[in-house]
Structure 1
Amino acid sequence: MDINQANIDNLTRLWKKYGVQIIDKNTQLIKNTSWPYRCWFDLPASGQNYLQLKHLDTTAIVPMWSEPENADIEEKENSNLSSQLFLTKQSSLEVELVKKGQCLFSQTAMYLAILPAVLFTIKDKIKLRKGFTVKLVTKTQELMAWVDIASKAFGYVIDQSVIESLMNDSEIRLLLAYDNDEAIATALMYKTGSIIGVHQVGVKPDVQGKGFSRLLMSELIVNCAEWQGTHVVLQASDAGKPLYDKLGFQAQFLINNYQRV
């Protein structure tokens, strides 16, 4: 399996679960109907030319990833390239977005193979913090707490109805982390085959910087293994990447998020 494509597929399939509409069938342009306001093309970067700029909504966030080098999971893990960021040419559409838009933020696509040695180390470290637990969201009150914490952690309003629609989805797990029974952090896990994407990992602002992000990610990796996942994928912010580096995640490629002006 191509681990680069697996990361993108997990991300875009999750966006579709949030609720979408097809803007243009010919160019496979898809847009979220509400939060998270993504607008993207379901076709390779090589087919995204600057003429498609006219289809882009000026209010939408347009993620662009270069067409990454194919990377078979086993081949990539056994090579010296596994710790390097794959750099490829921009599509003509992204070149035009650079000229006629603004890059709001960038992310690094990353992955981690769930190996016995990784799990052994992580499980040992989890025991260091008593009172920290991670639980599945199953009730409305828990859902409201999840949305409130995630919204504050990321600094934008998350549509509760969108998240609520995922509660009974067998491919998704909404999780709340607790410190001595106080809800303090959120996460969303999405399973596509043996690949599990970790999304919306957020910690309440008033308890950030106390090591809860690392504890939560450690628990999530263990949960992914218990859910029969073989690899974890995510898209790291600049602020979050150092943590993922320390946990053993490997960088893949960049995702630049633009807004047309």
Structure 2
Amino acid sequence: MIQENIANLTSLWQTVGQSVNAYLSTPEFDICMVNNAEWPNRLWFRGDHNEAQVKLALEQVKAASVKLIVPYWDIYNSGSQSLLERAGFKRISEQAGMGMDLHHPLKQTQPIRLETVRTKAMAVEWEALFSQAFGYRITADLLLPTYPTTAFFLVYLNNTPIGTCALHHTNGSIIGIHSVGIIPTMRAKGLARQTMITVLNQAMAEGFTYAVLQASAMGKGLYLTLGFSEQFVQVNYSLPPDA
């Protein structure tokens, strides 16, 4: 399930990147590089990396027209993250990879609903809400291609938009939950929990039996109380501007 979790995340990046001709695959790593965007600009290795591969990655990141983030998953027990750090990459954030079996619907206590982004106006609203919730942008144009495996949702409390989420699947049993965010003015009301319950119940109704996600420090506690277990740590690296 650890590999499935990581595969779901990288598949999402690949899916979105391919939709705008911004995805490149090499024997050592994959790259998604969308101009005029902050996401999903990533370079990720196909497995554990060695010094030669890090050198190639460094050249790609330095030559890129956008800032590329390099994720590292602590699943190899090799200490190979030190190769990235010696090459000049700096840690910028950490996330917890988490998973959960889906068995029984959870009790929903607030009228949260999800609306699939289908129009330009909805995509622009999603972009604005996401930016408020997370502090960076996913551009509206990336939400509008028809993705058979991916859907972006506006989150509503009654008829008021309060946040965002996205769902992505790579097979019929595992659902990846991404971009769950509540705008600051609506926080501390239990709405993130109720949004997750709505998402999980929808996933179960659609036949998924396992959910995966990558949690920030702020969200990890919530996901643990819902029944998720921590599987691994994802450390995100980037090059300083003067590197």
Q: What interval of TM-score do these two structures reach, taking the shorter chain for normalisation? A: 0.7 to 0.9
User: Would you say 1:196 and 2:204 are equivalent positions?
Assistant: no
Instruction: Report the equivalent of 2:102.
Output: 114
Distance 1:140 1:54 in 2: 37
Do 1:56 and 1:260's aligned partners in 2 also have CA atoms closer than 8 Å? no
SS of alignment partner, residue 188 of structure 1? strand
Distance 1:215 1:173 in 2: 19
Instruction: Report the equivalent of 1:45.
Output: 48
Deviations 1:157-183 (A, max 9, x none): 221111222xx2221122111122011
Instruction: Report the equivalent of 1:238.
Output: 217
Deviations 1:98-122 (A, max 9, x none): 2322111000100010013xx2xx1
Amino acid at match of 1:31: C
Per-residue deviation, 1:143: 1.9
Per-residue deviation, 1:208: 1.4
Per-residue deviation, 1:146: 1.1
Instruction: Report the equivalent of 1:77.
Output: none
* CA distance 1:52–1:260, shift in 2 (3 Å): same
User: 1:51-62 residue pairs with structure 2 within 5 A?
Assistant: 51-58=55-62, 59-62=67-70
User: Would you say 1:217 and 2:217 are equivalent positions?
Assistant: no
| Unmatched segments (≥5 aa) in structure 1 | 69-87
Deviations 1:129-161 (A, max 9, x none): 2x4322222233222211110111110122111
SS of alignment partner, residue 240 of structure 1? helix
| Unmatched segments (≥5 aa) in structure 2 | none
Count of paired positions? 226
Q: Of residues 56, 59, 66 in structure 1, which corresponds to 2:74?
A: 66
SS of alignment partner, residue 57 of structure 1? helix
User: Would you say 1:151 and 2:121 are equivalent positions?
Assistant: no
Amino acid at match of 2:40: P
Q: Of residues 94, 97, 101 in structure 1, which corresponds to 2:89?
A: 101
Amino acid at match of 2:85: V
Distance 1:169 1:21 in 2: 15
Alpha-carbon RMSD across the aligned residues, in angstroms, is 1.9
Identity of aligned residues (%): 29
Distance 1:53 1:134 in 2: 39
